[in-house]
Amino acid sequence: MLAFAAGAHADFGRKMLKKDNVAAVQKAAKAATLSDEDMKKLSLQSVAAMDEQNPVVPDGDPLAQRFNALVKGLGSEDGLSLNFKLYNVADVNAFATPDGSIRVMAGLLFIMTDDEALSVIGHEIGHVKLQHAKKQYQKAYSVAAGKDAVAANTGSTGQVLNDSQLGKFIEDVMNAKFSRNDESASDEYGFKFLVEHGYDYHAMESAFSKLAELSDDSGKKSLKASHPGAADRAKVAKERAAAQDQQMKQARR
């Protein structure tokens, strides 16, 4: 920490603490301490907007029936209150919001088996449980606060951001990348999720292998693009599966 002595630098504070700067600092401080209740409001507000903008695969569609069967019983997974929707878009992607909304793109189901898709879903649940999604929202909200763009109203409207600010906020959140540590932790969570539910835990390796093979020549944002290092993560998943195989063999002896 640097300390400034009085004298030559005595006007430093006066130059910085202008009215606008004070307001920006206050809003940044508010962002850093965003309450859980306001975080939930912000999460629900953003996912409602995304649900409105993205078509959902109709319930009568075989793909929706397959998806609904996959997530059946996961609404209260690991102490969380979760909800799921399948977006009728070709992207190979999935994401989670802090309130427990898990959204999967139809393109992912086109290229993955059920257990492979479940490994991705387990990974996204991990982002909620381990509060990685909350950190991403906190970060994006802090950026908005720093730009003096945050609505100072969470009253009767239930809105943390106004409509004109929400679109940019969602874009910032969706373009943000989790840290390598956060991704690794969610991978581990997703693997344990497969094991605990009796799914094929080898599916995480094959899921990441498929993502590693994807190219972005089409210009569409793939899960590979937003979750880098798929080949390395497939290798780690393979090692985890081998260790789990060994553990199960020893348990049967």
Return the active site residues: 124
Q: Is 161 in contact with 45 (CB distance < 8 Å)?
A: yes
Alpha-carbon gap, residue 76 to 78, rounded angstroms: 7
**Contacts of residue 221, Cβ cutoff 8 Å, sequence gap at least 6:** 91, 93
Distance of alpha carbon 21 from its chain centroid, rounded? 32
Cα 247 from Cα 251, distance rounded (Å): 6
Residue 243 neighbours by CB under 8 Å, 6+ apart: none
